[in-house]
Structure 1
Amino acid sequence: MSDIAPRPGLLRRLAVNKRNLAASGAGVAVVVIAVAAAAVSLADASAEPDPAGVAAAVPPSAVVSAPGSPSASPSASPSASASASPSAAVSKPAPVAPEPVVPRTGWIAVDSAAWKAQVDAYRALSFEPAPASVGNLPEFRADCEYSHSLPDDPIVAPGLPGASHMHSFFGNEGVDAGTVADDLVRFTATTCEPKQDHSSYWVPTLYDAATNKAAEPTGFRVYYRSLMSDSAKQLPMPNGLRMIAGDAKKKVPTPRGATGQFYCAYWEPGHDADGVARSTNGNWPICEKQAYLHFILQFPDCWDGKHLDSPNHKDHVAYGWNNACPASHPVKIPAITFDIQYGVQGSQAGYYLASDKDVRSSSSMHGDAFVMWDVDTMNKRTKNCVEQRRTCDNYGYLK
Structure 2
Amino acid sequence: MKLNTLTAAFGLVAPTSALLRFGCAKLTVQRLDPLVNPGQLPSTHLHQIIGGNSFNVSMEPDKHDLPSLSTCTSCQFTEDFSNYWTAVLFFRARNGTYKRVPQMAQAGMEGTQGGMVVYYMSDALFDTAQKSKVTAFKPGFRMLVGDVTNGNRDDARDFRQLTYTCMTDQSSRFPESIGFPKTPCKGGIMANHRFPTCWDGVNLDTPNHQDHVSYPEVGTFESGGRCPSTHPVRLPQILLETVWDTRAFNNKADWPEDGSQPFVWSSGDKTGFSSHADYLFGWKADSLQKAMDGHTYVSAPMLKTQSISEQNKCTVPDMVKENFDGWLPQLPGVSM
In the superposition, the TM-score normalised over structure 1's length comes to: 0.57
1:354 equivalenced with 2:266 (yes/no):
yes
Deviation at 1:328, TM superposition (A): 0.9
1:262 equivalenced with 2:154 (yes/no):
no
Find the counterpart in structure 1 of residue 297 from structure 2.
Answer: 391
Find the counterpart in structure 2 of residue 298 from structure 1.
Answer: 194
Q: What is the rounded CA distance, in whole Å, between the counterparts of 2:134 and 2:174 in structure 1?
A: 36
1:143 equivalenced with 2:23 (yes/no):
yes
Q: Which amino acid aligns with 2:299?
A: D
1:367 equivalenced with 2:277 (yes/no):
yes
Deviation at 1:118, TM superposition (A): 9.6
1:184 equivalenced with 2:66 (yes/no):
yes
Question: Secondary structure, in 3 states, of the residue corresponding to 1:168?
Answer: strand
Alignment of 1:124-143 (within 5 A): 138-143=18-23
Find the counterpart in structure 2 of residue 319 from structure 1.
Answer: 215
Q: Which runs of 5+ in 1 are unaligned?
A: 1-107, 128-136, 276-280
Find the counterpart in structure 1 of residue 85 from structure 2.
Answer: 202
Higher relative helix content: 1
Aligned 8 A contact 2:23 2:117 in 1: yes
Q: Deviations along 1:23-64, whole A, 9 cap, x unmatched?
A: xxxxxxxxxxxxxxxxxxxxxxxxxxxxxxxxxxxxxxxxxx
Q: Deviations along 1:95-140, whole A, 9 cap, x unmatched?
A: xxxxxxxxxxxxx223669x949953636xxx9xxxxxxxxx9411
Question: Secondary structure, in 3 states, of the residue corresponding to 1:109?
Answer: coil
Distance 1:272 1:242, change over 3 A: closer
Distance 1:174 1:391, change over 3 A: same
Q: Deviations along 1:185-221, whole A, 9 cap, x unmatched?
A: 2113211010100000000111121252222433411
Find the counterpart in structure 2 of residue 243 from structure 1.
Answer: 143
Deviation at 1:333, TM superposition (A): 1.3
Distance 1:394 1:148, change over 3 A: farther
Question: Secondary structure, in 3 states, of the residue corresponding to 1:305?
Answer: coil
Q: What is the rounded CA distance, in whole Å, between the counterparts of 1:335 and 1:315 in structure 2?
A: 17
Find the counterpart in structure 2 of residue 381 from structure 1.
Answer: 291
Q: What is the rounded CA distance, in whole Å, between the counterparts of 2:279 and 2:172 in structure 1?
A: 34
Aligned 8 A contact 2:31 2:46 in 1: yes
Question: Secondary structure, in 3 states, of the residue corresponding to 2:117?
Answer: strand
In the superposition, the TM-score normalised over structure 2's length comes to: 0.67
Question: Secondary structure, in 3 states, of the residue corresponding to 2:27?
Answer: strand
Q: What is the rounded CA distance, in whole Å, between the counterparts of 2:298 and 2:277 in structure 1?
A: 23
Question: Secondary structure, in 3 states, of the residue corresponding to 2:14?
Answer: helix
Q: What is the rounded CA distance, in whole Å, between the counterparts of 2:11 and 2:292 in structure 1?
A: 11
Q: What is the rounded CA distance, in whole Å, between the counterparts of 2:9 and 2:153 in structure 1?
A: 47
Find the counterpart in structure 2 of residue 285 from structure 1.
Answer: 183
Alignment of 1:1-399 (within 5 A): 108-110=1-3, 116=8, 120=12, 122=14, 138-181=18-61, 182-185=64-67, 186-210=69-93, 211-219=97-105, 220-227=116-123, 231=131, 233-252=133-152, 262-266=164-168, 284-288=182-186, 291-322=187-218, 323-345=225-247, 346-347=249-250, 348=252, 349=255, 350-357=262-269, 360-385=270-295, 390-393=296-299, 395=301
Find the counterpart in structure 2 of residue 44 from structure 1.
Answer: none
Distance 1:119 1:292, change over 3 A: farther
Q: Which runs of 5+ in 2 are unaligned?
A: 106-115, 155-159, 219-224, 256-261, 304-336
Q: What is the rounded CA distance, in whole Å, between the counterparts of 2:176 and 2:289 in structure 1?
A: 38
Distance 1:267 1:214, change over 3 A: closer
Q: What is the rounded CA distance, in whole Å, between the counterparts of 1:335 and 1:177 in structure 2?
A: 27
Distance 1:270 1:340, change over 3 A: closer
Distance 1:267 1:179, change over 3 A: same
Q: What is the rounded CA distance, in whole Å, between the counterparts of 2:171 and 2:13 in structure 1?
A: 45
Aligned 8 A contact 1:234 1:333 in 2: yes
Question: Secondary structure, in 3 states, of the residue corresponding to 2:298?
Answer: coil
Q: What is the rounded CA distance, in whole Å, between the counterparts of 2:189 and 2:123 in structure 1?
A: 24
What RMSD, in angstroms, separates the aligned Cα atoms of the two structures? 3.5
User: Which has more radius of gyration?
Assistant: 1
Question: Secondary structure, in 3 states, of the residue corresponding to 1:217?
Answer: coil
